[in-house]
Chain A
Amino acid sequence: MNAVLLSADLPYWAISLLRVLGGLVAVLLPAGTVVYLFLFKMLSFMQSRLGPMEAGPYGSMQLFAEVGKWLQKEDIVPASAQPEARIFKMAPLIVLASTFLLVVVVPFGPDAWFTNFETGIFYALAVSSVSVLGILIAGWSSANKYSLLGGLRAAGQLVAYELPMVLAVIGVVIQAGTMNLQEIVVAQNAGSMFGWDGLGNPYVLTQFVAFLIFMISVQAELSQTPFDMPIAESELVSGYMTEYSGFRFLIFFIGEFATAGVFAMIASVLFLGGWGVPFSWFGWTTIDSIDNWMNVAGPLILFAKMMALVFFIMWIRFSSPRLREDQLQRFAWKVLIPISLVNIMLTAVLKVAF
């Protein structure tokens, strides 16, 4: 996107505006699709009901109705949160901002990207933990013991699962030999398995353990069931979201599902080959030889891969009960982290060996 825009010779403000619009689309479109397709429809079908059917054909306009409803609601700041009202109001914005910062590094096509950081995955893992700040602020400034408990649980959980996530990504980084997400995509699609390049070399095959650990960590980072103790609606009354109403709750809600979409995008970039198709199909070898239509097809391919991954995230979410807080921590520190360390070691040894 960026390279295309630069070649069009637009003024700086126009490029910035287009980038903002692109970011909005890249965050809100997946979030809306995920909510409608999975939260409304798949969840309903799994419970043998039809879900929303009234707003638009098959309830497809339901989301707009919901957003309209939330926007009409009163924006309440509880009396005990009044002293820090400004911080209280800021918290959901921080959570959503981390999602927008995250989508910045996702490559959507050979020239369709917002920024092309040399250390893209490092940046992505760093800004993904900014949302912890927002959640902690929300939990603390609500001046409510349930919210505080939820916020602290969220902080503990997100810190604990940040680690296996980073360690899982290290395996991919070692194998690709780069931290640039664009180059990781190219490395997968230009690669070959034992001389056969019909599928490229998606790292989900060679780094399957890392993929599993990454997806489990994503599940926990998004605090989706079975790791939803921070928002546990039956024990903590939705945790840090308890005191939020109206459009601030809506922002938390969008943030949750947009982050699910963006994390799934990053996972598909790291493990499933991102926007690319195996280059050997069309006789491409490097990123410069790719035809221009991939800038249109790439985002769609990435979107399809993202939906497939979100399907698994949501499927597990809808099917499992909640773990206990200590089980969650034990699983992260005693199972996931050792396995991912072994995975790094093995990857490094094999990388040197081959």
Chain B
Amino acid sequence: MAKPKVPGMFKGLGVTFATLLATAKNGADTVQYPHEKETPPIRARGVIALHEGNCTSCMLCVRSCPDWCIYIEGHKELAPPRRAGGAARKVNKLDRFDIDYALCMYCGICVEVCPFDALFWSPEYEYSETRIADLLHDKSKLGEWMQTVPEAPELEAGAEKKGKK
């Protein structure tokens, strides 16, 4: 037997009043932001961190960025040969690595495309500025974000680790 139908209007009144009582009793579903903070999930796209040592300034991230918000400058340097008597190696030295977070749209293509694991997502989100120019994070600032990058989650059972063994 179907329940007698309550007119939608009274049902709505019931819902709002029940929510009112529940909020008064159990507290709100929201948090009072500056005083209490929710920890974002570890895969949250908060800010991009740079592991400078891994960057070879290959420019893949710059070229794949839809917003053109990454700026890289580098120069070649001669490094000592690996074996005695060999020719000196040429390595790319990173002079500048800037991400303009005023432009960034957090698509994460640069993190995906980086072949040397130099870019990471960090869930940190509190880096608003009063001047828009301050949203341009330079190499050292991007390096500091590395502290906040969480450990990569465990691979699923049976998953194979990519890359060189």
Contact = CB atoms under 8 A, between A and B. Distances in A.
Interface of A: 42, 44-50, 53, 226, 315-316, 318-320
B20 A53 contact: no
B6 interface: no
Contact of A319 (B15, B24, B28, B29): B15
9 contacts: A45-B28, A46-B19, A46-B23, A48-B23, A49-B30, A53-B32, A226-B9, A319-B9, A320-B12
B37 to A, nearest CB: 15
Interface residues of B, number: 15
Contacts of B20: 42, 45-46
B29 to A, nearest CB: 4
Nearest to A48: B29
A160 B51 CA distance: 70
A320 B24 CA distance: 21
A48 to B, nearest CB: 4
B112 to A, nearest CB: 36
Given A48-B29, A49-B29, A50-B32, A316 B19 contact: no
B146 to A, nearest CB: 34
A49 B32 CA distance: 9
A45 B24 contact: yes
Given A45-B23, A48-B22, A315 B28 contact: no
Given A48-B30, A50-B28, A53-B32, A319 B12 contact: yes
B23 A319 contact: no
Interface in B79-132: none
B126 to A, nearest CB: 18
A46 B16 contact: yes
Nearest to A50: B28
